[in-house]
A = this chain, B = another copy of it.
Amino acid sequence: MNILVVGSMAYDAIETPFGKTDKILGGAATYIGLSASNYQVPIELVSVVGGDFDQTYLPMLNQKGISTLGVEVRQDEKTFFWSGRYHSNMNERDTLVTELNVLENFQPKVPSGSKKPDILLLGNLHPLVQASVLEQLEERPKLVVMDTMNFWMDIALEDLKNTIQKVDVLVINDQEARQLSGEYSLLLAAKIIQQMGPKFLIIKKGEHGAMLFEGENYFVAPAILLDKVIDPTGAGDTFAGGFVGYLAQVEKIDFGQMKMALLHGTTRASFCVEELGTKGLMEIEERAFDQRLSKLKDSFSL
């Protein structure tokens, strides 16, 4: 199956207790694409960058089998820029700078040859922008996965609910699930959110793992214990990329395969957070991945 991804591409400047970067490659679509590129499936990105975007980045992505035909380059504008500082426990961060730049009036354009994706992954963007991508497609994808964040719950809740209604899988974290549903219990929150439309709900809990809900069924996967977390930036997108990459590769979409997809996303994310920025994602050796996935499975097998 092939995957269409819409999301931001960015320059990030990151400060963590373990290091500090200048402007480096970032953005949801970037992390998602790099993560999904570990699977033998066609991937296409729809995004936008400015004239300042490093000219080596798109060819680098292409070399990994990621099509960037849908990445608009606006020569006279600047790339989306985000800067943040992580606290020592890595679970909290302060945003230092957000310059929307090209993202401010981003209108994704799906290339004419890419309007029948099997899987559509809507990265975190304004819910109206996400919905506009669905509207451009010639066929409804077999699976539509949507990421979002509390920011849109605060400022565009009705638009958000309208988009959520149209997707199959919603991916959010535990705080966002509580905010969106108004319920503290994640069990009740999951019920309420599924009534909003998505058949499947994934709730990410960072170092505590992730949960997958479908109706009355749920599956809980722990995270992988690591010696060190260097930089959590992009972990959620990397998770989502591994999730759709695995499903596209096995070409089967059901609760059982989604459990495995959750483990793949979790394992990909564990490589991401071990290095600054996208570095940990650039070369995940198949052997190292398999070992870590196997260790993850062992950690919750009776």
| A73 within 8 A of partner (CB) | no
Give Cα A195 to B256, complex, Å: 39
B residues within 8 A CB of A209?
208, 220, 222
Whether the pair A221, B184 counts as a contact (CB closer than 8 A) is: no
**Does A288 sit at the interface, judged by CB under 8 A?**
no
Q: Are B208 and A302 in contact (CB under 8 A)?
A: no
Contact A225 B187 (CB under 8 A): yes
- List residues of A (179-234) whose CB comes within 8 Å of B's CBs: 184-188, 205, 208-209, 218-222, 225-229
- Is A89's beta carbon under 8 Å from chain B? yes
User: How many copies of the shown chain assemble into the complex?
Assistant: 2
Task: Return chain B residues, CB-CB under 8 Å to A220.
Answer: 209, 222, 299-300
Residue count of chain A within 8 Å CB distance of chain B: 28
Query: Pick the contact of A184 from B89, B187, B205, B302 — CB < 8 Å?
Result: B89
CA distance A302 to B186 in the complex (A): 21
Contact A88 B185 (CB under 8 A): no
Q: Which residues of B contact A299 (CB under 8 A)?
A: 218-220
Known: A222-B222, A302-B259, A302-B260. A185 touches B297 (CB 8 A): no
11 contacts between A and B (CB under 8 A): A89-B184, A185-B225, A185-B226, A205-B208, A208-B208, A218-B299, A220-B222, A220-B299, A256-B302, A259-B302, A260-B302
